[in-house]
Structure 1
């Protein structure tokens, strides 16, 4: 397990068992000291159990983003009840570190296996990570992302793409 996925696991376990966020130990590995958006996804028995993240950095570094987003994925994802202690041994963690979003001017610049997307219309925005099972076309990727944001199919949107480095 990569150090970021291990950090996500330890963060969730400490919070669920003891009700507090763990303290990060210094010094951090160099790849955790940078700033970036981070998504933490949790699966149980191969099924999504929670996924929360930030598309732009909100914390001091990738380690802080991972720690906070792991706890949020386990306890705040509105699609699922909070993780319970008896589930902890069955959970698998994925940490996606996002590149800075770049504006897209043509659909040909998108590829659902390589790029995640962000759609923006007014104050609404939605994000979908790349390389997700069952999302095979740009049209499907954009449809799902707009739906997540509450944007109607015909509404015009700004589209941004990003890459992820995925750690498991």
Structure 2
């Protein structure tokens, strides 16, 4: 990892690359560790961190989910967004108790950088299901003031579009077979990076 203050570049194609991923991961971990009074790891400089960005932070322990919180819109600087979502995933995910200090060494961090969401035009539920792209689309389901999302990573456990959408509707507070004229769907992509499974804190890029 680069020394603090060293500027790292994105991928040669202009897309977010390992340098940005490393910068996001270390800031996410530092934000959590700071709540326990631990000294921060060196944070490589990255100019993109000053730009607006939308991120999700996912925490796992031994392959099991331990927290996941994020932003669907880029409304604040990326540096601010990643730190805030890391703290929220660790301490304010309502599905889990707040992370304890002794859990931190066994907790691995994954960060997802979202592309802007785009609406999906569809005639009915069957048409919507045909348009979903397993393994690619993050999906936002919205109806009647309720909203829920699944990151593209969720396709790994729910590979069929009908099951994916049914579970997403349930997450939004609806029955799995619910459908109504007011349903809105949006899709987005992500670039994601995850700490090594063997050594949390080492960066491995995931496409």
Quickly name the TM-score band, shorter chain normalised.
0.7 to 0.9
The question of 1:50 aligning with 2:67 is answered: yes
- 1:135: Cα distance to partner? 1.4
5+ long unaligned stretches in structure 2: 1-20, 123-127, 195-207
Aligned residues: CA RMSD: 2.0
In structure 1, distance between residues paired with 2:82 and 2:139 = 20
The alignment partner of 1:140 has SS state of: helix
1:35 to 52, 67, 84: 52
SS in 1 for 2:79: helix
Q: Is the 8 A contact 1:121 1:151 kept in 2?
A: no
Deviations along 1:36-83, one digit per CA (max 9) or x if unpaired, are 221000011111100001101242x11111000000000000111000
**What is aligned with 1:166?**
192
1:88-103 to 2 correspondence within 5 Å?
Answer: 88-103=104-119
Gaps of 5+ in 1: none
What TM-score do the two structures reach when normalised by structure 1? Answer: 0.88
Aligned residues, how many? 161
Q: Verify the 8 A CA contact 1:36 1:100 in the aligned structure 2.
A: no
Helix, strand or coil at the partner of 1:2: helix
Task: Choose which of 78, 88, 91 in structure 2 pairs with 1:72.
Answer: 88
Checking the alignment, whether the CA contact within 8 Å between 1:111 and 1:137 is kept in structure 2 is: no
Of 139, 146, 157, 1:134 maps to 157
TM-score (norm 2): 0.72
**Residue 166 of structure 2 corresponds to which residue in structure 1?**
143
The CA distance in 2 between the partners of 1:49 and 1:62, in whole Å, is 23
Equivalent residues of 1:52, 1:77 under 8 A apart = yes
Matched position secondary structure for 1:83:
coil
**Preserved CA contact (<8 Å) 2:139 2:149:** yes
1:155 paired with 2:179, answer yes
Contact 1:103 1:160 survives alignment (8 Å): yes
